[in-house]
Amino acid sequence: MSDKNHQDDDMTDFAMNETSRSSVTSGTGTVLPGQERYVASLDETPLHEVDSMDESAPASNMWTDAWRTLRRNPLFIVAGVLIVFIVFVALFPGVFTHQNPNYCQLEHSLEKGGPGHPFGYDTQGCDVFTRTVYGTRTSLSVGLLTTLLVVIVGTLIGGLAGFFGGWIDAVLSRFTDIFMAIPMLLGAIVVLQMFRTSSSIWKIVLVLTLFGWTQTARIARSSVLETKNLEFNTASTALGSTPLRNLVRHILPNSVASIIVVGTTSLGSYIVSEATLSFLGIGLPSTTVSWGGDISNAQAILRTDPSVLFYPSAALAITVLAFIMMGDAVKDALDPKSRTA
């Protein structure tokens, strides 16, 4: 019994000694054990280095970051080289050939390639290489003009619907759904069959724009809906900016990234649509040199001389592939999630 009491007294003395050693007396009282606070000296915590900002670093924004990502992307480099070459061929076809694409001689019908005529001749005796080179201008013009008009119309309708909301959004959205329910190629065939009196590049462009703006409008609407609720728009409104000024100066520029991606990817599909319409004989007239028209003329001799069809088809496929690759590269660069992955 005495041993137990002696052990209890030793534990009590030990606890008291520990309490007295760990207690810290300050101006407000005594800090109990377990409540001690260690405050490092100012020399040991250089906060000015932690909170400082590197003012010599270059300014960065979404487009700068996207360009840094793009120039390191092999897909963008390959697509860019192809597109630059295709544009150069379309602008300066005389650099590659000095012949007239509509000059044909029947005595050269289906002759094989030779010096100055690497692709040979078609059924009518026309130089296939020359027609393939000059067809680049037609197909690329249709694709670029259609994409430009589609982006303008789709962004205008989608931006107004997403920004104002209410009955304006309801009316424009239902209007968009009506055109979205009509397949672009089928609608273009019907309209072109109704107006076959004249055919030109602008006619094809307007018909493709009539049925091709819906996807851009949907993308623009969703982007504007997301952007208009951000802080910079609220701050601009608080400073007295009008809604239309906010839409033009702040919301649309911050929503244009997704629209650029859709436009770049869709450009190839418009080139294919023009070629399809010309292949069906309801697109550009036969006097206009185009890849679709040459493919249509070569289908009759596909089994006997497939090379006549191969060259314009290969040019069409390479052009479309280049713009699709460019669209994929731009999408990856403008998507913040893919940049941080």
**pLDDT averaged over 10-residue windows placed end to end, the chain, 341 residues:** 49 46 46 61 56 57 77 90 94 90 83 82 88 91 93 92 88 92 89 77 90 91 85 78 79 83 88 88 83 86 83 92 90 66 45
Question: What's the pLDDT score for residue 21?
Answer: 44
- Predicted pLDDT of residue 131: 92
Residue 226 placed within a domain: yes
pLDDT at 23: 43
For residue 243, being part of any structural domain is answered with: yes
Q: How many domains are contained in the chain?
A: 1
* 308 within domain boundaries: yes
Query: Residue 191 falls within a domain, yes or no?
Result: yes
pLDDT of residue 24: 43
| Domain at 218, CATH number | 1.10.3720.10
Q: Indicate the DSSP class of residue 112.
A: P
Q: Report how far residue 300's alpha carbon sits from residue 270's, in angstroms, rounded to the nearest whole number.
A: 25
Does any domain span residue 74? Answer: no
- How far apart CA 179 and CA 182 sit, in angstroms, is 5
Whether 311 contacts 129, CB under 8 Å: yes
Asked whether residue 71 is assigned to any structural domain, the reply reads no
The whole domain housing 312 covers 81-95+116-340
pLDDT of residue 152: 93
Q: Please give the single-letter amino acid code of residue 149.
A: L
State how far the Cα of 283 lies from the Cα of 295, in Å rounded to an integer. 13
**Helix 291-298 vs helix 128-164: crossing angle, to nearest 10:** 130
CB-count exposure of residue 80 (10 Å: 0-12, 13-18, 19+): middle
| Helix, strand and coil percent figures for the chain, each rounded to 5 | 70, 5, 25
- 144 located within any domain: yes
| Strand 29-31, strand 24-26: pairing | antiparallel
How deeply is 241 buried, as exposed, middle or buried, from its count of CB atoms within 10 A (0-12, 13-18, 19+)? middle
How many whole angstroms separate alpha carbon 129 and alpha carbon 99? 10
Whether residue 7 is contained in a domain is answered as no
Give me 210's structure tokens.
């009539």
Q: Output the pLDDT for position 340.
A: 45
